[in-house]
Amino acid sequence: MNLTTETAKKWFLAAGREIQENKGYLSELDQAIGDGDHGHNMARGFSEVEKKIASETYEDVGGVVKDASMTIISKVGGAAGPLYGTAFLKASGVWKNKSTLSDEEFAEGLKAAIEGIAKRGKSEQGQKTMLDVWIPVLEEAEKGSIDVHQLVRTAKEAMEKTKDIEAKKGRAAYLGDRSIGHLDPGAYSSYLLFEALAEAVDEEGEESNG
Ligand code: ADP
Ligand code: MG
Question: How far apart are the C-alpha atoms of 57 and 70, rounded to whole Å?
Answer: 17
Tell me the pLDDT tens digit for each residue of 4-51.
999 999 999 999 999 999 999 999 999 999 999 999 999 999 999 999
Tell me the pLDDT tens digit for each residue of 183-209.
999 999 999 999 999 999 999 888 877
Q: What is the pLDDT of residue 208?
A: 79
Q: What is the pLDDT of residue 113?
A: 99
Of the listed ligands, the closest to the CA of 189 is 1
Q: Does the Cβ of 83 fall within 6 Å of ligand 1?
A: yes
Segment 116-129 shows an average pLDDT of 98
Residues within 5 Å of ion ligand 2, judged at the Cβ atom: 30, 34-35, 37-38, 78
Q: How far is CA 191 from CA 28, 30, 154, in A?
A: 16, 15, 9
Contact 26, 189 (CB under 8 A): yes
Question: How far apart are the C-alpha atoms of 44 and 174, rounded to whole Å?
Answer: 26
| Closest among 186, 172, 187 to 38, alpha carbons compared | 186
Segment 144-156 shows an average pLDDT of 97
Q: What angle separates helix 61-75 from helix 5-21, to the nearest 10 degrees?
A: 30
Helical segments of the chain, H only: 5-21, 23-33, 38-53, 61-75, 80-94, 103-121, 131-141, 148-161, 185-208
Q: What is the pLDDT of residue 206?
A: 87
What ligand 1 atom has the least distance to the C-alpha of 184?
14
Question: Is residue 210 over pLDDT 70?
Answer: no
Residue nearest to atom 14 of ligand 1 (CA): 186
Q: Does the Cβ of 41 fall within 6 Å of ligand 1?
A: yes
- Cβ-Cβ contacts under 8 Å for 56 (sequence gap 6 or more): 67
pLDDT-derived band at 166 (thresholds 50, 70, 90) equals very high
Segment 155-179 shows an average pLDDT of 98
pLDDT-derived band at 147 (thresholds 50, 70, 90) equals very high
Question: Is residue 154 over pLDDT 90?
Answer: yes
Tell me the pLDDT tens digit for each residue of 53-102.
999 999 999 999 999 999 999 999 899 999 999 999 999 999 999 999 99
Q: What is the pLDDT of residue 59?
A: 97
CA of 129 to the centre of ligand 1 (A): 7
Question: How far apart are the C-alpha atoms of 197 and 210, rounded to whole Å?
Answer: 20
Mean pLDDT over the full length of the chain:
97
Q: Does the Cβ of 1 fall within 6 Å of ligand 1?
A: no
Question: How far apart are the C-alpha atoms of 199 and 194, rounded to whole Å?
Answer: 9
Candidate from 128, 171, 190 with most ligand 1 atoms within 8 A of CB, to mutate: 171
What ligand 1 atom has the least distance to the C-alpha of 123?
24
Residue nearest to atom 23 of ligand 1 (CA): 121
Of the listed ligands, the closest to the CA of 184 is 1
CA of 79 to the centre of ligand 2 (A): 7
Specify the pairing of strand 3-4 against strand 100-101: antiparallel
